[in-house]
A and B are shown apart, each in its own frame.
Chain A
Amino acid sequence: METKVGVFFCNCGGAIKNIDFDAALREVARLPGVISVNLDSSLCLEEGKERMVSSIRDEKMERVVVAGCSPLLKEHIFQGILEKAGLNKHLLSMANIREQCSWVHDGDVTAKAVDLVRMAINRVLLLQPVETKETAVSKEVLVAGSGFAALNVALQLSHLGLRTTVMEEGPVLRAGSEEPAAVYGVDASSIIAEVEANENVEVLTSARVMTLEGKVGGFGVRIKKAGKETFRRYGAIVLATGHRTEIVNPGAEAGASVVSQKAFTDILRNSSLEREPRTVGFILDFSDENSRFPTLATLNSALAAKKKWGSEIYVFYKSVKVDSEGVERLYQQARDSGVVFVKSETAPKIGVEDGRVKVEGRDVFAGEDLVLACDVLVAEELYLPAEGTETFSSLLNVRTDPKGFWQDDNVHLYPVGSEKKGIFFVGGCRGDLDPGRMLADISGVAMNIGELLSAGKVAADFERVKADPQKCVACLTCIRVCPHGAIQLVRVESSKDVAQISDLACDACGVCAAVCPAKAIAFQGYRDEEILAQIEAIKRS
C-alpha cells in the first residue's frame, strides 16, 4: 500500500503571484502517493493551521509536503502542526516556491514550482519518523580557573540551582589577589567571600584534571587533588583559566622600578615603596595591538595614582583604545586631572639615570624628543594564554587560535560556545579582552548552561544520526572527523566495537555520514536515498 502524502500549497496571501495554482494542484494531484492537494492563503496563521490539522487527521495523511515560503522561516511551525495532528514532526518536506522560485524568476514559474514539489514528494516518501527522547543530565558544572570570570560564573550558576565545582591548579583562589580586578574597573573584593559562603559552590584548589571522557550532560572527569584522584560527572564544563602577561623589553638594567600593571596596583594598595613616587610613566600599545585590557588598566592606575599621590603621570602611547564601555569617560577624566598623554610612533627607549628610570620618546604632536625621568614605570605587557592551555586543549580536544587563546571568533559559536557542546569559554582565556563584554559573557555562559541543565533532563532527537552496528567496521574515521567530538567507540551486545553517536553532543552536520566508508551512518532527513531521490525528481522535469 503506497504511503499517503498530503500536499499543501500556500500562496502567502497573494504574495506568490506568478504561479497558476489550479494548474499546479491538478498536476501534483496525479503524482504517485499524493492523496490530497490543498490550496491555502495563510497556512502559517491560526485558521490556516486549524484547517491543516483537520485535513491531515481527516484524510489520514502519513506524510506532508508544504509548498510555500522558506523552511528556515516556517518549518518549525509546520512541524508543530504535524505533531498536533498526531503525525511525527520529521515526516514533513517543504518546497520553497516563494523565495527560491516565485520571487527570483519573472514570468510564469508554475512548471518549476511543480518540480520543486515533486522533489519534496520524492524526499518525503522516504522520510522515517524520529522520536524525541529525554536524557537525564548531571546538574553539576565544572569551572576550571578561579579568576573574576570563573567565580562569577560559579555564583550565577548557583543562583540557577546548579552545583558548581571551581577547580584551581594553584593553592589559592586567584580572583582579587592574583588578578587585580580593580585594574579592570570591577570590584572583586567580596567575590571570594561570597563563593566560599555559597554551599552550591565547591572549591578545589591545587587540583588538576587528569582525564576527561563522555559528552555534554555527562562528562566523566578524573580530578587529582593532594595525590588522590576522584572521578566526577559534570553536565557542562566552563574554561575560565584567564591569561598571563609578559613585560615587553623592560630594559633590564632599569631593575625594580619597572613594574607590571599588577605590581603597580600592589604598590598603590599598600605603597610598598619607601617614599611616594613623584613621577609615574606608562607605556601603552606599541607591540600588542589587539588587546583592550592595557588601555583600561593604564587609565585606572593613572587616575588612582593621581588621586593617592598627586604625582605627575606620563603615558607614552601609540593608541588609546576607548571603544569599550565607559573607557572614553575614564580617558577624559584622566586628561582633566592632568595626566600627560605623549603620542609616539615607536616604543620609547628605557634606561637608568641616577637611580631613576629614564624614558626617551618622540612626541609626534609636539614634533620633538622627550626625555622623562620617573620613579616608577609601568611597562607594556604582552597578553598570553595561561600556562597549561595546550594540555587542556588536547584533553578536551578543542582548538585554539594561532596565539593559543581559545575559540577563535567562529561566528556560529560566538561568543562563549565551543565546537563541543557543553564546553564553554569565558574571560581572559579567550584573548582580546574587553571587560564590558566579559561581564556579558559571564551571564551568557550562565544562561546557556542554565537552559541546558537546570531541568535535569534534555530532550533531543533520538538516534536521528545513527551508525548501524551491523555495517560499522569500526574504522574510527567518523570519530576522528566529527567536528563536535560527538562520536565514540562502544562495545555492543555482539561484543563488537562500533561507533555510537551521542544524541546530545551531535550538531547534525552530516560530515560523518559523508565520510563513512561503509555507508553505515544514517542521518534521517539527509540520507543518501533522500538526497538522490530529489536528484531523480529533477531528472524528470
Chain B
Amino acid sequence: MATPFREILKRKDFVVTAEVGPVKGSSVSKAIEHIELLKGKVDGLNVTDNQSSVMRYPSLGVCLLIKEHGGEPIFQMTCRDRNRLALQADLLFAYSRGVSNVLCLTGDSIDVGDHKEAKQVFDLDSVQLIHLVHTLNSGKDMAGNELDGAVDFCVGTTGTPSADPLEPQLIKLEKKVRAGVNFIQTQAVYEMDELKRFTEFVRSLDENVRVLAGVVPVIGAKMAAYMNENVPGVFIPQRIIDELGQAPKGTGVAKGIEIAARMIRQIREEKVCDGVHIMFIGREEKVPEILEAAGLA
C-alpha cells in the first residue's frame, strides 16, 4: 500500500507527482499499463478529469484502479461538468474507496473541447470547490446536513506562475490558500524567476503549503507554437522554442525530455519549490526517462 500523499507532503523534501490521462473508451488496459509503470516511481499519480473538455473515461475510475494497484491517486475534479450535488456525491464515493487526495480545478471551457454544444455547468468554481471539500471534511454537506460517515481529504489546487497580468491570479491564489490547501501543482512553468516569485508568495501566505512545479516537456518548436496558441495557461518562452528549433529532425522528444530534466534538476538543487508535477499526457511511458535524466529514479 503506498504511503498517503498527506504524509509524503510532510516528510519528503522533494515530492514528485505525475499525471495519467484516461482513454476515450471503456478499456482500462492502457491505464493499468501506465499505473504499473509509474506507481513506484512517483509519490502521487494525478488523473485528469475530461482534460481540455474532451470526454474520456472518468478520473475517479482510474483513481480506483491506482488504489487497486497499490498506487497513491490524486483525484482531479473540475467544476465544468457537475453541479454541487454531483461534486459532493463523487467526493463521498471517492473517499469511501480510499481515494483521499483531491485536486480542485475550475476546468477548461467547453469551447476548447470536442463537445462544443454542451451546456457547461460551473455551478461552483475552484475556490468554492475547496471550501466545499472542507465543509465535507467537517462532517456536513453544503446544505448544512450532518454526514453519515465523514471524510478527511488532502486538498490541492493549481496556480499559474507565468500569468500576465500576474496580480489577478495572485488574488485568486490567495483566496485558494485562505480556503485551505495542502499542496499546489502549478500550470506548466519554464522560467525559474517566475516559479521563485510564485513560491515565495505562497510561503508568505502559509508555509505549510507545498508547491510542486508543473513540468510539461515540449517535443518540438511547432508543438511549442501550437501549445502557446491553444493550450490555456501555457506560455513557452522563445528561448526554449529556439533551442527546440536547433534540435536535429526526429530528436524532438529527446530534446524535450532533456530540457524538462534540466529544469527539474535546477528546481531541486536550488530548492526553488517543494517538488515537481510532471504532465506528459499521451506519452506517460516516457516519464521514467525524465525521472532518470533528472536524477530522481
Please determine if A and B sit in direct contact within the complex, based on CB atoms under 8 angstroms apart: no
| Residues of chain A having any CB pair with chain B under 8 Å | none
